[in-house]
Structure formats: structure tokens, C-alpha cells
Amino acid sequence: MSTAPVCIVIGVGPGLGLALCRAYAAAGYAVGMVARRADALSGYAASLPATARIAQATADAADVPALLGALQSLQRELGPVQTLIYNAANLQGGLGLETTPERFAADFQINCVGFLAAAQAAVSPMRQQGGGFIFYTSGAFAVNPSPKFSSLAACKAAGRNLCVSLDKELRPSQIRVASVTVGGFIAPNSAHDPDRLAAAYLKAAADPANWASEITP
């Protein structure tokens, strides 16, 4: 088990998720990676520096028992989580009147329910360490909804709202919670370059005295 602080990233993909793993590994963290597909996850892990302390677990963020199992497995290998990043999302578009209640419920499950379950699971190990950080990757639609992404916008707005409530609730335990509002589509060498965005998470955690429950990189 590593003595380094532990960061767990839920929803690792080739863009921001992998950039977050890269940034935290470079900062000296042991990094736990969660994604749905084992083959993709292995490829992401292989792209990180050989010196990085990495552990992998597969889970669909919409499957709460599987997600909680993945968090437990990673902490058994790496140690208690100090930073939790919920980067999972269902990014499908669709007009509101075209979105079935079943589809909306499925979107809410991955965009909000999985986040709440993961945050609840992280609180105990963070309290035992005297504090920690929980981040929720959000987006511009949470603030300025688009009718073409009505379900995503509503779910991300709920996640953003939940972050504010959890941050207020957990401040006495020195646990900080924030949504990170990405203002556009993520792409390398753009205003929303994944490496630049990842650096914003670390920067916020480095200055907890000036913490805000919403971060806009």
C-alpha cells in the first residue's frame, strides 16, 4: 500500500479523465482509475509514467453496487482516498419532448446518483484523514441549458446544486466539495485543453482557504 495521497478518478476516458490521472500522478499521488471497459482502462494506465503508482477497477458509474465495489478495491490496494473526482457522464443530446422518462432516469442515474453514492462512500476515509476533496465535473449546460441537451443540462444542474449542499455540510469535517464547470467542448490545444483543465483541480485543492463550491477554469 502506498504512503502517497490517493486520488480516485471515476469515468476515465481519453480526454479529461486521462489528463486528470496524468496530472495527479505527476503531483505524487497514487491514482485509482475507474472506467467501464477493462481493455480501454489498461491502455490508459499503460500511457502513464512507469513510475506512477496506479490501480485499476472496472465499473459502470450507473451501477451503484459495482461502483462502490470498485472504490473499495482501489482503496484496499492504494490506501484511503484523499481526492475523489467524479468525471462520469452520459453526454447524449436530445430535445426535452423527445426524451423518454426512462432515458431521463438513466441519465440521472449516471450523472447524479452515482456521484452521490461515490461521495458518500468517500466521506468516512476522508474524515479519518482529517479532510479531503471531492470534485464533480460539470459543464456549461448546467448553468445555461440548451434545448438540444435538455436531459444532460438538467442532470448536470442537479449535480452542481448537490455539490453546493455537500460542500456546506462537509466543511466542518475539512472536506471540500466543488463542481468544475467546463465551459465548452474539451479538445487538445483549445481553450478547454484537458491538461489545462486538470491543472485547475490541483490548483483549487492547493488553496482550500479560498475554496469555492464551483470552479470555472
pLDDT digits (tens, 9 = 90+) for 79-93: 999 999 999 988 788
Nearest CA to 177 among 118, 128, 93, 217?
118
CA distance 114 to 162: 12
Q: What average pLDDT does range 19-46 have in this prediction? A: 96
Start-to-end C-alpha separation, the chain = 33
Q: What percent of the chain has pLDDT over 90?
A: 88
Q: What average pLDDT does range 93-97 have in this prediction? A: 87
pLDDT at position 2: 59
Range of the domain at 167: 6-215
Nearest CA to 12 among 62, 37, 23, 29?
37
pLDDT at position 167: 98
pTM of the full structure: 0.96
Model confidence pLDDT, tens digit, residues 136-194: 999 888 989 999 999 999 999 999 999 999 999 999 999 999 999 998 889 999 989 99
pLDDT at position 1: 57
State how many domains the chain has: 1
By the 8 A CB rule, do 77 and 1 touch? yes
Nearest CA to 25 among 48, 1, 9?
48
- Answer yes or no: is 163 within a domain: yes
CA distance 29 to 83: 9
Q: Where are the beta strands (DSSP E) in 18-119?
A: 30-35, 54-58, 81-86
Q: What average pLDDT does range 7-26 have in this prediction? A: 97
pLDDT at position 71: 98
Quote the radius of gyration of the chain (alpha carbons, Å). Answer: 16
CA distance 100 to 175: 37
CA distance 83 to 19: 15
Distances (CA, A) of 162 to 38, 39, 45, 90: 30, 32, 30, 18
Q: Is the pLDDT of residue 103 over 70?
A: yes
Q: Give the CATH number for residue 23.
A: 3.40.50.720
- Answer yes or no: is 1 within a domain: no
- Answer yes or no: is 24 within a domain: yes
Q: What average pLDDT does range 35-45 have in this prediction? A: 94
